[in-house]
Amino acid sequence: MQLPILESINLMAVLPVLIIAGWACVLLVFDLLIPRSRKHWTAWLALVGLLGAAVALFFQIGHFARLGSEAAFDGMVTVDGFSIFLQVVFVLTAIVGVLLALDYLPRHGIERGEYYVLLLFTTIGMMIMSMAADLIVVFVALELLSIPLYILSGFAGMRETSEEAALKYFLLGAFASSFLVYGIALTYGGTGTTRLTGIAQAVTSDALNLPLTTVGMGLLLVGLGFKVAAVPFHMWTPDVYQGAPTPVTAFMSVGAKAGGFAALIRVLVTAFPAIASEWGTLIAVIAGLTMLLGNIVAISQSNIKRMLAYSSIAHAGYILLAVAAAQRSENASFAIGAVVFYLLAYALTNLGAFTVAIAVERDDGTGTEIDDFAGLGKTRPWMALAMALFMLSLTGMPISGGLVGKVFVFQAALQAVPGDPLLLAVVIIGVLTSVVSAFYYLKVIMVMYMREGEGKAVLPLALKTVLAATAFGTLVLGIIPGPVFQMAQRAMLK
Amino acid sequence: MIGYILFGLVALVAIVSAVGMLLSTNAIHAALFLVINLICIALFYLGLNAPFLAMVQITVYAGAIMVLFLFVIMLLGAEQVTLKSQLKWQAPLAIVLAVVMIAATFLLFFNVQASGGLSPLAPISEDPRQTETFGSPYAVGEVLFGAYLLPFEMTGVLLLVAMIGAIILTRNEAGGMRDEQRAASNE
C-alpha cells in the first residue's frame, strides 16, 4: 500500500542535512578502524562531509532564490532563504570547529574521534532548527543541538572545570527544555495544533484560548531564551564557556546561539503574529536587561573565556533588539535581515577571537587570563593585529562587521514602531552599553601592545587559516556590507 | 454506564496510589505506589481506545523505568535514609500555591462556561469506526512513519548521540588523568 505521505517527503530540500547525518554515522564506524595515533584522519574525514554539505548548500542557494520556499516531510520543515542563509553559517562554524580542534585535542591529551562525530550531530540539530515549521521539530532539534554540546563540554573530563561545565549545562539545559515542552503543550492545548502556520490561524486577538496560548508563548520564550543566553536565563554561560574545552566554547558560542535565534524568529514571527505587540514588548525588555548585565559584568573579568562569555550575553541582547523589531510585519524583513547579518558578523568575529585564545592557551588548560596576552604585539604581530580587529569589531568600531551589524539592528528597532518609547529607550541603552563595552575590549588590545610579557603562542597552520579567514570576513562585512545584507534581507521567512 | 463505574474505580486507585507515593517515607514503597499509578494510567489509555499506548505505558514506564528506579534506590541504599526536610517553608508554600492554582482553574472554567462554553478545537470524528481505531497500532504507526517521520528519525539520532555520550563520559580512554588521580600520583 502506498502511503500518500511518501510524495511529500522531498528529500532534495534537506539534502545538506542528510549528507552530514549520513556521514556522521559512517564516520562513527570509520573511527573504530583508525589507529589511536592517527585520529586526525577522522577530523579530515569530518571536513570532507562538511564540505560536501557546503557544496549541496551552494547549489540550493540558486535554486531557492528562484523558488522562494519549499516544504519537506509533509510540512514539518520549510526550506527558504532564511534557513539556507543560517545553514551556511552553521556549516562554516562546524568547519571552523573541526579546524580549531585539530591541534587542540592532541595537545591537551583528549583526542578522540567522537569529538568530530558529535560536532556533526549538533550541526544537524542547528540546521533543522533553522527550518523547523512545527513545534515538535523545534523541540527535537533543540535537543539534538543541546545533547552533543553537553557531552562536548565535558570532553576534557579529567579536568574538574570541564566536568563542572558539562554537569551545569546539562542540568540547567534540561530544566530549560522542560519549560519549552510545557510551552508547547499549552500552545497545543490552546490551538489544537503544533504546526506553526496552524497556530497563527488559531491565535486571533479575540480567541477564547488566548490566555492559555499567551502563557504557552511565554514558556517557549523561556526555553529558547536559555539557549541564546538572554538575561534572566544566562546563569550557566560564564561557567560553561570557561570550563568547556576552548574549541567547543568557540563552536557553541556561535552555533547554539544562532540556532536558538533561528527557532525564536521562526516561532514568534510565524506562529504568533496576532500577539506580536506582547512578545515585542517582552523581548525588548529582555534585550535591554541582557545588554546591561552582559556589558557591565564583563568589565570585571580577568579571564578571556569568561570575558567572552559575558560579551556573548551582551551580543545576545543586541540581536534580541532586532528580534523585537520584527513585531510589525512591514518591518519584519528588514529586522530579520539585521538579525542574520549580525549573527554572521558575530560568528566570524567571535570564532576569530576564540582562535587567538586557543593559540595562547597552554597544554594544561591554563593561560586563559587576559594577562597572558601581554607581549603578543611584539612576538606575534599578525596575530595581535587580527585580535585587535576582532576586539574592535565586537565593540562596534568602523571598518569592522560589528559596527555595520549594530547600525542595522538599531535602525531596525527605530523604524519598527515609530515613536515607541520602550524601543527608543532600549536603543539608547544599546548605544551606551556599546561605549561601555569599549572599556573591556580595548583592555585586551592594550595588554597585547603596551605590556611587557613572554607573548608565547602556538599557531599551527589550521589556526592560521581560520584566523586569516575570519579576519578577512570581518573586514569584508565592515567595508562592503551591501551584497551580504541584501542576501540577508532576502533571507526572509516564506 | 459500566464504563463510568470502571473509570471511577480506576481513578480512585490512581489517586490513592499517587497520594500514597507522596506520603510513604520508604523509597521502595513510594516506587511501588508509582507502579500502581502508572498501571492505572495505562488502563485509562485502554478505556480511551488506545491499546497501543496502554501497552507502551506498561512496558516502558511500569516496566523499564521502574526497574531503573528500583535499581538506583537499591544501589544507593536510599530506602534506609530517612530524609529530614531541609526546606521547612516549602510545604506551606506548596499548599498555598496549589490552592491558588485550583482556584484559578475553577475561575477560568466558570468564566468560559458563562461566556457560552468552550468549543472543541479539533472536533473528534463522530464516526465510531474511526474513534475505535485511532489508537490502534496501525494508526499510530501510520502517523509515526508518515506525518511525524522526521521527528521520529531525529529521535533515533538523538538516542545514538546519548549512547555515544554515556560511553565517552564514563570511559576515559585517552589516557588523561583526572585531577584527583594526578594529585594522588604526585604525592
Considering only CA atoms, which of A294, A331, A346 is closest in space to residue A474? A346
Q: Is A76 on the interface with B (CB under 8 A)?
A: yes
Query: Whole-angstrom Cα distance, residue A195 to residue A81?
Result: 20
CB B143 within 8 A of CB A5: no
Q: CA nearest B164 in A: which residue?
A: A114
Query: Whole-angstrom Cα distance, residue A144 to residue A138?
Result: 10
For every one of its 494 residues, what pLDDT tens digit does chain A have, with 9 covering 90 and above? Answer: 445 556 677 888 889 999 999 999 999 999 888 888 888 889 999 999 999 999 999 888 877 766 677 888 888 898 888 889 899 999 999 999 999 999 898 888 888 888 999 999 999 999 999 999 999 999 999 999 999 999 999 988 778 888 899 999 999 999 999 999 999 998 998 888 899 988 888 887 666 677 788 888 999 999 999 999 998 899 899 999 999 999 999 999 999 999 999 999 999 998 888 888 889 999 999 999 999 999 999 999 999 999 999 999 999 999 999 999 988 878 888 899 999 999 999 999 999 999 999 999 888 878 888 888 888 888 888 999 999 999 999 998 888 888 999 999 999 998 887 778 888 999 999 999 999 999 999 999 999 998 888 878 888 999 999 999 999 999 999 888 888 888 877 766 55
Q: Is A380 on the interface with B (CB under 8 A)?
A: no
Q: Which residue blocks in A34-80 are alpha helix, DSSP H?
A: 40-67
Q: CA nearest B151 in A: which residue?
A: A137
CB A325 within 8 A of CB A423: yes
Partner-chain contact A208 B161, CB within 8 Å: no
For residue B129, pLDDT over 60 is answered with no
Alpha carbons within 13 A on the beta-carbon side of A379? 17
Partner-chain contact B118 A128, CB within 8 Å: no
Q: CA nearest B142 in A: which residue?
A: A3
Q: How far is A297 from chain B (nearest CA, A)?
A: 30
What number is the ipTM of this complex? 0.89
Alpha carbons within 13 A on the beta-carbon side of B25? 6
Pairing of strands A77-80, A69-72: antiparallel
Query: Whole-angstrom Cα distance, residue A82 to residue A86?
Result: 6
Residue B123 pLDDT class (50, 70, 90 cuts): very low
CB A230 within 8 A of CB A198: no
- Chain B, residues 82-101, CB within 8 A of chain A, namely none
Q: How far is B147 from chain A (nearest CA, A)?
A: 6
Q: Is A77 helix (H, G, I), strand (E, B) or coil?
A: strand
Residues of A in Cβ contact (< 8 Å) with B176:
109-110, 156-158
- Chain B, residues 113-172, CB within 8 A of chain A, namely 115, 118-119, 121-122, 142, 145-151, 154-155, 157-158, 160-162, 164-165, 168-169, 172
Which residues are within 8 A (CB) of A34 and not within 5 positions of it... i.e. 6 or more apart?
A41, A42, A113
> C-alpha grid cell for residue B146?
508518515
Residue B80 pLDDT class (50, 70, 90 cuts): low
Cα–chain-centroid distance for residue A241?
A: 13
Residues of A in Cβ contact (< 8 Å) with B122:
192-193
Partner-chain contact A114 B168, CB within 8 Å: yes
Q: CA nearest B146 in A: which residue?
A: A5
Partner-chain contact A112 B174, CB within 8 Å: yes
- φ, ψ of residue B95 in degrees (nearest 5): -65, -45
For the stretch A215-249, what's the b/e string if a residue is b when 16 or more beta carbons lie within 10 angstroms of its beta carbon? Answer: bbbebbbbbbbbbbbbbebbebbbbbbbbbbbbbb
Q: Report in angstroms the alpha-carbon separations of A106 from A2, A36, A152, A361.
A: 51, 11, 15, 14
> C-alpha grid cell for residue B127?
464516526
Residues of B in Cβ contact (< 8 Å) with A124:
157
Residues of A in Cβ contact (< 8 Å) with B138:
none
Partner-chain contact A192 B122, CB within 8 Å: yes
Helix A421-450 vs helix A401-416: angle between axes, to the nearest 10 degrees? 170
